Structure 1
Amino acid sequence: MRSSRLAAFFTSLSFFVIAALVAGVVVGGMAQGADAPWLTGGLGVVESLGQVWLNALRMTVIPLVFSLLVTGIVSIADAAATGRIAARSLMVFGVLLVGATVYAILAGLGLLALWPIDPEAGRALLAGTPADSAAVVGEAARTDGLRAFLSSLAPANVV
Structure 2
Amino acid sequence: MAGGFFTTPPDARRLNLVFFPQAASGGGSVLRWQGQLDEHAVVHVVQMPAHGARYLEPSYRSMRPLVNDLLDSDTRFCGTRYAFVGARLGAWVAIELLQALAARGAAMPSAFLVCGAPGPHDKSLFCAGPAELGPVDIHVTKGIPAARGI
Normalized against structure 1, the TM-score is what? 0.20
User: Whose strand proportion is higher, 1 or 2?
Assistant: 2
Greater length-normalized contact order (CA 8 Å, ≥ 6 residues apart)? 1
Normalized against structure 2, the TM-score is what? 0.21
User: Whose helix proportion is higher, 1 or 2?
Assistant: 1
The structure that has the greater radius of gyration is 1
